[in-house]
């Protein structure tokens, strides 16, 4: 069994759909279909796919380089903030007790 990655599956779906659109474009132009030569619209679609993949790769690379704090979820940040506040309150209470002796 061949396992495809998400990108390979996306490429397969894209190429099948592109071929169908290209056949329709060639019919509209009134010339025989040549599967090795794309119409200008087909070329633009392929460029757009490559551009979107490049942007996705750049976003993934930037996310990997993020500081761990930037990768924390909102709930984790809230829990961390609450823990900090509780420890500051505990510190203040202990200092007040120490001063009162």
Give tens-digit pLDDT for 33-91.
Answer: 988 899 999 999 999 999 999 998 888 887 777 666 666 677 888 888 999 999 999 99
pLDDT confidence of residue 100: 75
Q: What does the alpha-carbon distance between residue 13 and residue 21 come to, in Å, rounded to a whole number? A: 12
Q: For residue 6, what pLDDT band results from cuts at 50, 70 and 90? A: confident
Mean pLDDT of all residues in 10-31: 93
Is the whole-model pTM more than 0.85? no
Label residues 32-43 b or e (16+ Cβ within 10 Å = b): eeeeeeebeebe
């Amino acid at each position: 069994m061949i396992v495809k990655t998400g990108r390979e599956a996306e490429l397969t779906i894209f190429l099948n759909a592109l071929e169908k659109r290209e056949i329709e474009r060639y019919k509209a132009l009134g010339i025989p279909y040549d599967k090795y030569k794309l119409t200008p619209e087909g070329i633009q679609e392929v460029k757009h796919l490559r551009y979107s993949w490049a942007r996705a790769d750049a976003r993934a690379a930037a996310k990997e380089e993020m500081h761990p704090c930037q990768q924390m979820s909102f709930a984790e940040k809230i829990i961390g903030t609450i823990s900090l506040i509780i420890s500051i309150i505990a510190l203040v209470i202990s200092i007040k007790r120490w001063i009162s002796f």
